Amino acid sequence: MSRYPSQEIPVRLPSTRASQNTIHPVDSTPLRPCASPSHSPIVYHEVKHFKKWFPWLIPSFVVANTIVFIVTMYVNDCPKYTLSCVAPFLGRFSFQPFKENPLLGPSSTTLEKMGALDVNKVVHGHQGWRLISCIWLHGGVFHILANMLSLLIIGIRMEQEFGFVKVGLLYIISGFGGSLLSALFVRLSISVGASGALFGLLGGMLSELIINWTIYTNKVASFLLLVVTIVVNLAIGILPHVDNFAHIGGFLSGFLLGFVLLIRPQFGWVSQRYMPQGYSLESVKPKFKTYQFILWIISLILLIVGFTVVLVMLFRGVNGNDHCSWCHYLSCVPTSRWSCQTQPSYCVSNQLGNQLNLTCQSNGKSSIYYLSNITESQIQGLCTELCN
């Protein structure tokens, strides 16, 4: 809360950041009383442009993601298709072997069945809905815990400040943008997770700080802290089996969208809107500064053009790697400790009675299994385990 001298407007302003970065009235305009101002008690007004919203959408997103994960594990039914499940006491909710999925989660086959991002199915199978459905799926317990904790920490504060409509649009559109860039560059594997949407929220926080620069104190420290957080998280994305293209696409979408959705009116304009009777302004303040208008227009144009271009390229079957020979390093940098190759699992099978012989084509490993009434799904699960 900021309190003014008696000749200025008393208003109550909730902080839009942490307590160390409260709104600063740098543009407040002096007011002078008219001929006979009444000496009424001071009344504090809640400024609607900076009011606190009750956060319900972000917790709902967390619940929805959790429910989808539980349903995915139910559909996965590891004991039915795999011999060595992790935590078998969980029954059909047990996890795939660590070699197949180190995140404690379902098989890639199940994720694909539930709506994972598969570029071939999107482009050639006319399943564009996967660009949205994939952001509600997660690869395992570790994956969903990390994402949902981050969503609660980041998302609740943003929803309190800007409301469920703006934050909801920012989350969904950023997730969609992350899926688009991922589909353009990741061709040989599926992709799941809310990371693109989360990076969109981070991008929105950064652009909101820039476009509303004049209303914050400690702005430089906040800017540097936010940039370092984003850079560190993007750097983690160069590890194998992490879809950093979804992170980058989500961040860029959220960054541009933040300039459009999260713009704040300048403090002087808010002050004059809540001016009590009996006071007049010496000068009238415009609602937004010139740089805010410019950033709003440029960002909206870039957002529309960018989404249009990527969508056209994607559905024409364009492989982004063909036009950018170094872009694959943005998602994974190979070292002596790990490889960035993510080849699908293919096996040669030979079945004689209850005996099944499998040979993985990618690593040459062979194994013999003794099973009755084996299904194609079981063979694929065993093949994936053998090739990893």
- Chain centroid offset of residue 2 CA: 34
Q: Which residues contact 110 (CB under 8 A, 6 or more apart)?
A: 72, 75, 76
What does each C-alpha distance from 132 to 142, 182, 263, 320, 338 come to in angstroms?
Answer: 21, 12, 26, 20, 30
- CB atoms closer than 10 angstroms to residue 311: 15
Active site residue 195: yes
- d(C-alpha 155, C-alpha 160), whole Å: 9
For residues 382 and 372, the answer to whether their CB atoms sit within 8 Å is no
Of 94, 107, 195, 331, which is the active-site residue? 195
Burial 160-179 (b: 16+ CB within 10 A, else e): bbbbbebbbebbebbbbbbb
Active-site position among 107, 143, 179, 247: 247
Does 39 qualify as catalytic in the annotation?
Answer: no
Q: What are phi and psi of 11, to 5 degrees?
A: -130, 155
Q: Two tokens at 177?
A: 């943008």
State the catalytic residues. Answer: 195, 247
